[in-house]
């Protein structure tokens, strides 16, 4: 993926590029500054251990970050499963700092990720998302992911209640 500058709905410009080894500190600082609202339907803790796992994405060329004025404000990544019976099968995640929600960044990052995944010849990308995570569910559906199933009450929310999770997926190539 070539580094590219994109304009958000509010006029701000961010650079989209692949995740680099040097991004670790910035990534840690972004995830540790996510608000309770932004993390409402996520899977804490967001700590160095998680960021170290995400940094493994520098090797695959399937992790994209968004940079605004030298500050890392978003990450979206696809991870391929390593086993032989899961060749071409992957899962995805996306986190955007709350200062950049609702201005089209998630859409642009996911679109770019899907292009990268197609170019790598991936067959399927799947994910699980809490049913109430409206922005995420809408974003995935808009870009072609389908709801394939429901995991009943598989998520324990910050509200102290259990919530359904949707299993969503997109097939990138024909069988």
Ligand X SMILES: CC(C)(COP(=O)(O)OP(=O)(O)OC[C@H]1O[C@@H](n2cnc3c(N)ncnc32)[C@H](O)[C@@H]1OP(=O)(O)O)[C@@H](O)C(=O)NCCC(=O)NCCS
Enumerate binding residues for ligand X (CB under 6 A).
38, 41-42, 94-96, 101-107, 127, 129, 133-136, 138-139, 142
**Residue closer to ligand X (CB basis): 121 or 146:** 146
Taking residue 40's Cβ as centre, other Cβ atoms within 10 Å add up to 13
Smallest distance from ligand X to CB 132, Å: 8
**Residue closer to ligand X (CB basis): 54 or 95:** 95
Cα 119 to Cα 78: distance, rounded to the nearest angstrom: 13
Strand order, beta sheet including 4-7: 4-7, 13-18, 63-68, 71-80, 89-96, 124-130, 162-171, 146-156
**Residue closer to ligand X (CB basis): 57 or 84:** 57
Smallest distance from ligand X to CB 7, Å: 13
Taking residue 38's Cβ as centre, other Cβ atoms within 10 Å add up to 16
Smallest distance from ligand X to CB 146, Å: 15
Omega of the bond leading into 45 within 30 degrees of 0 (cis): yes
**Residue closer to ligand X (CB basis): 102 or 121:** 102
Smallest distance from ligand X to CB 31, Å: 10
């Amino acid at each position: 993926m070539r580094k590219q500058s994109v304009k958000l709905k509010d006029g701000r410009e961010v650079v989209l590029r692949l995740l680099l080894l040097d991004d670790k500190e910035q990534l840690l600082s972004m995830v540790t500054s996510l608000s309770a609202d932004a993390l409402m339907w996520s899977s804490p803790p967001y700590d160095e251990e998680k960021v170290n796992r995400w940094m493994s994405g520098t090797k695959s060329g399937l992790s994209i970050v968004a940079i605004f004025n030298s500050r890392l404000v978003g990450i979206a990544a696809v991870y391929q499963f390593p086993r032989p019976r899961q060749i071409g099968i992957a899962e995805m995640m996306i986190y955007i700092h709350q200062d950049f929600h609702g201005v089209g960044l998630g859409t642009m990052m996911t679109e770019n990720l899907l292009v990268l995944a197609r170019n790598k010849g991936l067959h399927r990308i799947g994910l699980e998302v809490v049913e109430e995570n409206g922005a995420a569910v809408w974003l995935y559906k808009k870009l072609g992911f389908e709801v394939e199933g429901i995991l009943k009450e598989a998520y324990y929310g910050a509200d102290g209640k259990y919530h359904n999770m949707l299993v969503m997926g997109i097939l990138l190539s024909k069988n």
